[in-house]
Amino acid sequence: MPRVFNFAAGPAILPEAVLRRAAAEITDYNGTGMSVMEMSHRSKEYIAVFEGAEQKLRTAMAVPDNYKVLFLQGGATLQFSAVPMNLLARKGRADYAVTGYFAKKAFKCAQMYGNVRTAADTGNYYAIPAQRELSPDPDASYFHYCHNNTVYGTRWPYLPETGGVPLVCDMSSSILSEPVDVSKFGVIYAGAQKNMGPAGLTVVIVRDDLLDSPALPGTPELLTYKAQAENGSMINTPATYGVYLLGLVLDWLGEAGGVAAMEGINRKKAALVYDAVGSSPVFRCKVEERSRSIMNVVFSSDSDETDARFLKEAASRGMVTLKGHRATGGIRASMYNAMPLEGAQKLVELIGEFK
Ligand SMILES: Cc1ncc(COP(=O)(O)O)c(C=O)c1O
C-alpha cells in the first residue's frame, strides 16, 4: 500500500524520511545492538538522545536560556490541571480566553482548582476575539489561551496584551509551524502528536522565575514543574521513544530550513485550500478571514450527505482522515509541517472538481 495523504488532526502525519530513519535504526541504534525503545533512560546513549532532542528544540524555537524545557507525559490535557496547580496560587486568580473546544476544556478544568474567570468568550468559535474584546485582569496569576484551535480551525492572529501578566499558551496544534517569540510567554505547552512526533510525549517550556510559584497543596511531584526541572524530566521513566522521534523530526525540520521555512510552506498550503473553498459553489468556510488557522482548514457544504460523498471520493484518491470533529461536522484538512505541498494540491484539485 503506498503512503496516503493523512489529513488527521492528531495523531497526525509524520515526515516519511523520519519514519524511514526510525525503521532503519529500530533494532540497532547507533551500534548499540538495541533499539532506543529497549534502552535504560539513564544510560549514556539514551541521555545523549534526550539532551540532543532538547538542544534541537531550543535551537528550532530559539528558546532563551532562562526557560526550562520539560519532556512530560499525560498529553496537553494533563497540563489543563498542571497549569493551575503550579501557577494559580501566585495571585490566587487566573484568566482564560475561551475560544474553542480545548480552550473551554482547559477553563472548565482550571475551575476545579480555584478562582478562574473568562477574559474572553464571544460565544463564536469561528472568530478570535480582538484585543479590545479581552478584559485581562492585571492581577491575574496568568492569562491562558490556545494559539490554534484545532477543532474550529482558528488561530490567534496577534499576541494578547495582558499588561505584564504571564501568558500561558496551549500550542498543541501549532508548535513548530511558525516562529514564536518564546520570551513573550510564561509557559508554552503542547502534546507532541501533531507537529513533533508520536502521542505520549508532552513538551512544556516554562520561564525560570515561574518555577518558584508555590504549587497548590497536594500537587503530585510528577506534575510539579519545579520538581521536573530539578530532575531533568526524569523523576520517573520519560516517554523515551517519543523524545527520540522528536529529535528525528527536529533534524528533518532543520534540514528543511527550520520553523521560518515551515511557516512559508504552511501558509502556502492553507491559502491554496482556503482559495479553493472560497471559489467552490459547494463548500464554504465559516471562519472569519483574519482568524483562519494555517494548520487546520475547516469547511463544509450545506449537507452531511454531500460532505460524506466528498470524504469517500477523497479516500478513493488517497486522501484520508478528512472528517471534521464531532463538534463541528463537515470537513477538516489538518496540514501540519509533515504534509507535503502535493497533499494540499491534490485536495484543491478535488474541491475544484466536486459538484
Ligand atoms: C489545541 C489542543 N489542546 C489540547 C488537546 C488535547 O491533547 P491531548 O490529547 O494530548 O491531551 C488537543 C488535541 O487534539 C488540541 O488540539
76 and 205 together in one domain:
yes
* CATH code (residue 307): 3.90.1150.10
What pLDDT score was predicted for residue 122? 80
Based on the fold, state whether residues 64 and 186 are members of the same structural domain. yes
Residue range 72-101: mean pLDDT, rounded: 98
Contacts of 60 (CB under 8 A, 6+ apart): 176, 250, 253, 254, 258, 259
The ligand 1 atom nearest the CA atom of 77: 11
**Whose CA is closest to atom 9 on ligand 1?**
75
Mean pLDDT of 35-59: 98
pLDDT of residue 159: 98
* Residue 94 and residue 141 in one domain: yes
27 Cα: distance to centroid of ligand 1 (angstroms): 31
| Cell numbers found for residue 232 | 531533568
**192 Cα nearest atom in ligand 1:** 10
pLDDT score, position 123 = 86
Atom of ligand 1 nearest to the CA of 10: 14
Please tell me the distance between residue 193's alpha carbon and the centre of ligand 1 in angstroms. 9
In the reported structure, the alpha carbon of residue 222 is separated from the centroid of ligand 1 by a whole-number distance in angstroms of 19
Query: Would the pLDDT of 236 be above 90?
Result: yes
Residue range(s) defining the domain that contains residue 47: 17-254
Strand bridging mode 202-207 / 67-72? antiparallel
Report the percent of the chain where pLDDT is more than 70. 100
Task: Count how many Cα atoms sit within 13 Å of the Cα of residue 355 in the half-sphere of its side chain.
Answer: 0
Which of 96, 171, 173 best tests ligand 1's pocket when mutated (most atoms within 8 Å of CB)?
A: 173
Q: Which helix (H) or strand (E) holds 70?
A: strand 67-72
State which of 202, 234, 254 marks the end of a domain: 254
Task: Answer yes or no: do 194 and 112 share one domain.
Answer: yes
3 inside domain: no
Give the pLDDT of residue 281: 97
Instruction: Specify if 10 maps to a domain.
Output: no
Strand partners, 300: 284
pTM over 0.75: yes
Q: Are residues 249 and 116 in the same domain?
A: yes
Residues 54, 150 within the same domain: yes
- pLDDT at residue 149 is higher than 90: yes
Give CA separation, 184 vs 48, 94, 160, 178, 181, in Å: 30, 18, 10, 15, 6
Domain endpoint, select from 234, 254, 274: 254
Cα of 201 from ligand 1 centre, angstroms: 12
Side-chain-side CA neighbours of residue 36 (13 Å)? 24
* pLDDT reported for residue 133: 95
Domain boundary among 254, 274, 291: 254
152 Cα: distance to centroid of ligand 1 (angstroms): 13
> Ligand 1: which residues within 6 Å by Cβ?
9-10, 75-77, 102, 146, 150, 170, 172-173, 191
pLDDT tens sequence across 329-346? 999 999 999 999 999 999
Please indicate, yes or no, whether residues 169 and 241 belong to a single structural domain of this protein: yes
pLDDT the model gives residue 300: 98
For residue 268, give every residue at least 6 positions away whose Cβ sits within 8 Å of its Cβ, in sequence order, or none.
Answer: 341, 344
Quick check: is 5 in a domain? no
Asked if 333 and 248 sit in the same domain, the reply is: no
pLDDT for residue 92: 97
The radius of gyration of the chain's CA atoms, rounded to the nearest angstrom, is 21
What average pLDDT score do residues 28-37 get?
98
**Candidate of 72, 79, 102 to mutate for ligand 1, largest count of ligand atoms within 8 Å of Cβ:** 102
Residue in 56, 110, 68, 98 with CA at minimum distance from that of residue 246: 56
Q: Quick one: which atom of ligand 1 is closest to the CA of 78?
A: 11
Domain with residue 147: its CATH number is: 3.40.640.10
Closest ligand 1 atom to residue 149 Cα is: 1
User: Above 90 in pLDDT, residue 158?
Assistant: yes
Which of 71, 145, 150 should be mutated for ligand 1, with most atoms under 8 A from CB?
A: 150
Within-domain flag for 161: yes
Q: Is residue 12 part of a domain?
A: no
Calculate the average pLDDT of the chain.
Answer: 97
- Can you tell me the distance from the alpha carbon of 124 to that of 143, in angstroms, rounded to the nearest whole number? 20
Asked if 33 and 182 sit in the same domain, the reply is yes
209 and 278 share one domain: no
4 assigned to some structural domain? no
* Distance in Å, CA 107 to ligand 1 centroid: 14
Please state the rounded mean pLDDT for residues 211-236. 97
List the one residue out of 189, 174, 159 whose CA is nearest residue 68.
Answer: 189
User: 262 and 249 in one domain?
Assistant: no
Domains held by the chain: number: 2
Tell me the CA–centroid distance for residue 218 and ligand 1, in Å.
Answer: 25
- Residue minimizing CA distance to atom 5 of ligand 1: 76
pLDDT of residue 1: 86
pLDDT score, position 355: 84
pLDDT digits (tens, 9 = 90+) for 92-116: 999 999 999 999 999 999 999 999 9
For residue 190, how far is its CA from the centre of ligand 1 (angstroms)? 8
Percent of the chain with pLDDT over 90: 98
Q: What is the pLDDT of residue 202?
A: 98
158/288 same-domain check: no
How far does the centroid of ligand 1 lie from the alpha carbon of residue 281, in Å? 33
Is 1 contained in some domain? no
HSE-CB for 297 with a 13 A CA cutoff? 26
Instruction: Give 173 Cα–ligand 1 centroid separation in angstroms.
Output: 7
pLDDT at 4: 98
| Residue 9 within a domain | no
